[in-house]
Every structure is written in C-alpha cells, then in structure tokens.
C-alpha cells in the first residue's frame, strides 16, 4: 500500500549521530529519503508498505549484544540495501560471515583502497574516509565480495555477488569522507537502480498538499518572522488566502531589527499579520527573576496565556473560529522525537526550549506543519522558490525567549536598552563589512557585572557587553567565528561610545560544546 508522497529510501536509525546526514546527503543527490525507527519499519512492512531501498545506519551498539529483529529486511532478495558501519556488520552477521569484537577500533581518518577490478566512476582508487567503529567483519559471508580494504587490511566495503546489497564500514555521509557522496550516488543509481526524484518542485507540491487538507477552515499562525514561520505562512497563504491569520507577539524582548523586519513584512507580503503588544505582561512577570530556567519557563508560559486570550478576543471581534494552528516545525524536531535514544538512554534537559507546540488542549487546535519533512536548507530553498527576499530567508536564528536569554540575571529596562542597541550596532557593522552571512548567528549579551573604566575625564563603573558570533550548520555544535580584529575593534568602539552604561566589550571564544550558543 503506497502513498502519494512516499519516500523512495528508508533510512533505519540505529542511533548513529550521523543518521540525519545520510538523509541530507541523499536528498542533496536528488533522492527522497526519510528516517524511520526499526519499529516503524516493522509496522510498515507488516501493512505491506515497502520502500524502493533501505539504508541501515550506524549505531552505538554491537552485533554481539543487539536484540533487534531485523530478519524482515532480507525477506525480499530484490530489495536494495546499504549497510553503513553497524549496518554493514548486521549484513555480515545475517549472511553468515564472522564479525569480530573490536578491542582497539578505528576512529577518525582512514585510508581505504578499492580492490583491483572494482572501479566506481568519479572516485579515485584510494581515498580518505571517516571511520568510527570497534567491531569489524573478519570473514566476509560467502555470497559477498570485498570491494575495499583499509590500509591496515581490514574489510572496508563489501558487495553481494547477486543481490543489490552493499556494506560500507566507514561513514560516506560525513564531510571528512572524501568522495563519500559519489559512493552513495553509485549505490542508489547503479546498485539500487533508482532515479533521482527529489527536487524543489516535489518539495513544494508535498508541502502544499499538506496545507490543502485544511479545506476552507480558518488557520492561525504563531508568527515570529523567522525563516521557518515566514516560509510556512507564505506557503499556506498561497493555498488558503484570507483564511490564514498570523499573530506576532511582541514580548518586549525583541531586537530593533525585529521591529523593522515585521513592518517590512507587513508592507511587502500579503500576509495578514496581527501584532500583539504584550510587553508589559511579559516584563511584569519577569521582574526580579534571575534564574535562567525560570525565565525561560515564564516566557514560555506567558506566551501561551497571551496567545490564548488574544485568539479568543480576535475570534469574537471578527466572528470567526480557528480550527488549525500553523507551525514551522522542521524535520530535525520531528525525528528527534522518534530517536531511539529517547527510549533508551535518558536525555538531560540542557535548556527548556520555548516553542508554541504546547498550546493548551482546550484550544482544540489541530496542528498544521507543512515543513515537517524538511531540513533548514530545504526550507530556505523553498522560501526562495516562493519568491521571498533572500535577506529574509537567510536571517540568523533568534530564540523564542528572545533577549530574555541574552540579558544575564534579572531583566531591567537598562539591560534591554543596552542589549538592543548593541545588537543593532553589531548587526549594522556585519552588514557594512559584508560579514553577516559568514557567521551562523551573531548577537550581543548583557553581563550584569560592573567594571571600572574611564570616560572623558571621569571614572566610569559600568556594565559589560559580550559579543557572541558562531559558525555552525545546525546549532548542535558550533565554533566561534574568527572575525578580523579590525571589525571587532569598530564594533567595540561604537558600543562603548554609543550605548549608555557600557564601558567594556568582550568577545566570547568558546565553542559548543562545552559552551552553548546562547548564554542562558
Ligand atoms: P543553544 O544555546 O542551546 O542554542 O546552544 C542552539 C540554537 O538554538 C537557539 N535557541 C532556541 N531556539 N527556542 C528556540 O526557538 C529556544 O528556547 C531556544 N534556545 C536557544 C539558539 O539561538 C541557537 O540557534
């Protein structure tokens, strides 16, 4: 039983930290793919729903200890299967080879070489790849050939003699594996016989199809002006027209650029945006609160309260009733919630992220998430294909609790003004120096410590602003941006000259981990 927008490739997640990357690389090559848990895969197989190809991901476990029931994968000898790392060891074990328990393991770069007689076009005979394993296949099952070996003579890749099955001991999906993408492409096109099917038209059609299911019902969007909610709203607006209403909540913790941006969007898009001024409510309830988690929780809770009240008022004023809540939820949020880690190892809460997903049940809003199958890059691509301005689509991320997590300790009017003005200076200078797009996120943080300085002829005893600029691809890990000293100097000079109460500017040179991107 297949569905209209079935993905050709199912990537079975055995818990590798790189599983999302397999999906991204496959989609970059033009192949539609999705991540499934083993349970979900079993369910689909038992309801006679099959993919065109399976990829078995790596994972932290050993084939000596696993208790997974994966026989189902191999029932159909025509189903193409690619096993990566742990996935390859599963192939070795299932097909009767000998997997040896690793004592030393191979981690990091390794040189591997194709065996003679085996050539993959567009890849050299020898290449450098990323290994991360301890177990390895010592004796290859009799129906398989070894096609690559590592420099220490371990089996690096195997291929079934007659079935469309291949195993790679290394990770072709990570950047460190040179030519890894060509290997994936070779498997999909030459072994699995797939033709590329994933492109921006397909992406847009699928997202529109999700919105179409709403029919003529009224839809409410919690609109932040960030990339995800902007793309989701623009897309939905094309399908729903006036039935879409966007609420933008001003919690008093916004940047100066956010006010400009929302004004611009109101003028230049057809979106129906209602601005809700809730500054006093938020700032009133945050008075005197200095614990980061408490601040986050209050901001999240207030958002829900304000939203609920304002929606009711709006509904009675305009005599309408909302049935759906539109959200810009992305694929990584969806997969994280089905990750095998959730059931197994307990994950710790580093920060309670604030999203609008937690609206009260009593509001009875059904969720509409047209971007739920997409990665951030794909959402940006979709934004461009919806003719949204490039600057809007490539804005830096901004957290739900806003400046609340960039003012350390209790929030005061002085701190808000200082962080807003310094943020604006940094933003202007990044644009001026054409550096805005060379960093993933750039902002200022207000530190509630006072240091001695000299302003004019007098002594100053004032607060500190910290600059935080990081390079990252997904916010999960990050490195501080190595910007020119001249640039830092201009920003520092402007902040100390123009922002009242600030005599010192420092630059945060911490990576994530161990630091996080935001300070609270
Ligand atoms: P951290 O500070 O956890 O941030 O390293 C990683 C990325 O997430 C953003 N962030 C948030 N985004 N709601 C959001 O929507 C939140 O509560 C939140 N907290 C952090 C942060 O800006 C960075 O991009």
Cα-to-centroid distance, 406 and ligand 1 (Å): 11
Q: Look at domain 9-191 and name its CATH class.
A: alpha beta
> Could you identify the atom of ligand 1 that is nearest to the CA of residue 226?
15
* The predicted structure's pLDDT at residue 344: 43
- Closest C-alpha residue for ligand 1 atom 20: 399
Give yes or no for residue 395 CB within 6 A of ligand 1: no
Give yes or no for residue 226 CB within 6 A of ligand 1: no
Give yes or no for residue 501 CB within 6 A of ligand 1: no
CA distance 384 to 388: 5
- Closest C-alpha residue for ligand 1 atom 18: 399
* The predicted structure's pLDDT at residue 346: 45
Quick check: is 171 catalytic? Answer: yes
* Alpha carbon 485 to chain centroid, angstroms: 31
CA distance 465 to 463: 7
> Could you identify the atom of ligand 1 that is nearest to the CA of residue 478?
5
pLDDT tens-digit readout, 265-317: 999 999 999 999 999 999 999 999 999 999 999 999 999 999 999 999 999 99
Quick check: is 221 catalytic? Answer: no
520: its two tokens? 């609270």
CB 49 within 8 A of CB 2: yes
| Mutate-to-test residue for ligand 1 from 349, 396, 517, 519, highest number of ligand atoms within 8 A of CB | 517
| Mutate-to-test residue for ligand 1 from 351, 399, 444, 516, highest number of ligand atoms within 8 A of CB | 399
Spell out the domain ranges in the chain.
9-191, 200-393, 412-507
* The predicted structure's pLDDT at residue 222: 93
Give yes or no for residue 476 CB within 6 A of ligand 1: no
Give yes or no for residue 297 CB within 6 A of ligand 1: no
User: Does 412-507 match 200-393 at the fold level?
Assistant: no
The angle at the Cα of 177, spanning 185 to 165, to the nearest 5 degrees, equals 45
Q: What is the DSSP secondary structure assignment for residue 512, as one 8-state letter? A: B
Give yes or no for residue 196 CB within 6 A of ligand 1: no
CA distance 230 to 233: 5
CB 366 within 8 A of CB 325: yes
State whether residue 57 is helix, strand or coil: coil
- 34, 106, 133, 173: the active-site residue: 173
Cα-to-centroid distance, 399 and ligand 1 (Å): 5
Quick check: is 261 catalytic? Answer: no
State whether residue 84 is helix, strand or coil: strand
* The predicted structure's pLDDT at residue 1: 57
What residue ranges of the chain have pLDDT lower than 70?
A: 1-3, 103-104, 336-348, 354-357
- Closest C-alpha residue for ligand 1 atom 11: 399
* The predicted structure's pLDDT at residue 445: 98
Q: What is the pTM of this model?
A: 0.89
Q: What is the dihedral of CA 70, 76, 82, 83, to 10 degrees?
A: 20
Give yes or no for residue 400 CB within 6 A of ligand 1: yes
CA distance 228 to 319: 29
Handedness of CA 83, 88, 90, 95 (dihedral sign): positive
CB 148 within 8 A of CB 124: no
Q: What is the DSSP secondary structure assignment for residue 142, as one 8-state letter? A: T
CA distance 476 to 402: 19
Would you identify the CATH topology of the domain 200-393? Rossmann fold (3.40.50)
29: its two tokens? 């090559």
68: its two tokens? 């997974």
Q: Look at domain 412-507 and name its CATH class.
A: alpha beta
Give yes or no for residue 512 CB within 6 A of ligand 1: yes
Cα-to-centroid distance, 339 and ligand 1 (Å): 20
Cα–Cα distances (Å) from 74 to 87, 164, 200, 210, 249, in that order, read 13, 11, 33, 33, 52
> Could you identify the atom of ligand 1 that is nearest to the CA of residue 512?
5
- Closest C-alpha residue for ligand 1 atom 10: 399
Give yes or no for residue 135 CB within 6 A of ligand 1: no
* The predicted structure's pLDDT at residue 337: 56
35: its two tokens? 């991540």
* The predicted structure's pLDDT at residue 339: 52
- Closest C-alpha residue for ligand 1 atom 7: 475
**Closest to 373 in 3D by CA, of 32, 15, 39:** 32
- 85, 221, 246, 466: the active-site residue: 85
CA distance 504 to 464: 5
Give yes or no for residue 517 CB within 6 A of ligand 1: yes
Mapped to the 3 state alphabet, what secondary structure does 207-257 carry? HHHHHHCCCCCEEEEECCCCHHHHHHHHHHHHHHHHHEEEEEEECCCCCHH
pLDDT tens-digit readout, 477-519: 899 999 999 999 999 999 999 999 999 999 999 998 899 999 9
Give yes or no for residue 113 CB within 6 A of ligand 1: no
Give yes or no for residue 354 CB within 6 A of ligand 1: yes
């Amino acid at each position: 039983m297949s569905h209209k927008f079935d993905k050709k490739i199912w990537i079975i997640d055995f818990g590798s930290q790189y599983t999302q990357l397999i999906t991204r690389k496959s989609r970059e090559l033009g192949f539609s793919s999705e991540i499934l848990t083993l349970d979900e895969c079993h369910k689909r197989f038992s309801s006679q729903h099959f993919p065109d190809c399976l990829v078995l991901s790596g994972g932290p476990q050993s084939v000596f200890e696993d208790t997974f029931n994966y026989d189902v994968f191999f029932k159909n000898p025509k189903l193409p299967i690619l096993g990566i790392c742990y996935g390859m060891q599963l192939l070795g074990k299932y097909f009767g080879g000998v997997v040896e328990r690793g004592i030393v393991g191979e981690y990091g770069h390794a040189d591997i070489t194709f065996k003679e007689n085996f050539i993959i076009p567009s890849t050299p005979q020898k290449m450098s790849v990323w290994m991360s394993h301890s177990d390895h296949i010592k004796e290859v099952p009799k129906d398989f050939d070894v096609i690559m070996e590592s420099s220490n003579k371990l089996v690096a890749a195997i291929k079934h003699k007659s079935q469309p099955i291949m195993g790679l001991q290394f990770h072709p999906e990570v950047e460190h594996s040179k030519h890894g993408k060509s290997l994936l492409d070779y498997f999909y096109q030459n072994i699995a016989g797939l033709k590329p099917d994933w492109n921006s038209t397909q992406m847009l059609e699928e997202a529109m199809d999700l919105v179409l299911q709403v029919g003529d019902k009224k839809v409410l969007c919690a609109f932040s002006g960030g990339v995800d909610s902007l793309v989701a709203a623009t897309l939905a607006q094309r399908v729903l027209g006036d039935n879409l209403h966007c609420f933008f909540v001003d919690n008093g913790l916004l940047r100066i650029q956010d006010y400009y941006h929302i004004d611009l969007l109101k003028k230049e898009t057809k979106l129906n945006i209602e601005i809700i001024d809730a500054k006093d409510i938020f700032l009133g309830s945050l008075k005197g609160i200095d614990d980061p988690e408490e601040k986050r929780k209050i901001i999240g809770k207030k958002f829900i309260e304000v939203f609920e009240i304002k929606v009711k008022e709006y509904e009675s004023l305009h005599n309408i009733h909302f049935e759906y809540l539109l959200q810009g939820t992305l694929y990584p949020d969806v997969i994280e919630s089905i990750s095998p880690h959730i059931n197994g190892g307990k994950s710790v809460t580093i920060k309670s992220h604030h999203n609008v997903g937690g609206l009260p049940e009593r509001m009875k809003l059904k969720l509409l998430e047209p971007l739920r199958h997409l990665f951030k890059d794909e959402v940006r691509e979709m934004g461009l294909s919806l003719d949204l301005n490039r600057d809007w689509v490539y804005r830096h991320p901004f957290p739900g609790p806003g400046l609340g997590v960039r003012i350390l300790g209790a929030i005061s009017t002085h701190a808000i003004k200082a962080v807003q003005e310094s943020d604006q200076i940094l933003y202007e200078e990044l644009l001026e120096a054409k550096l805005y797009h060379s960093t993933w996120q750039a902002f200022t943080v207000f530190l509630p410590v006072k240091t001695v300085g000299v302003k004019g002829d007098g002594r100053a005893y004032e607060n500190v602003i910290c600059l935080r600029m990081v390079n990252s691809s997904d916010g999960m890990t990050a490195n501080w941006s190595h910007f020119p000293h001249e640039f830092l100097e201009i920003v520092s000079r402007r902040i100390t000259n123009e922002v009242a109460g600030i005599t010192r500017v420092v630059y945060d040179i911490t990576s994530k981990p161990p630091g996080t991107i935001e300070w609270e």
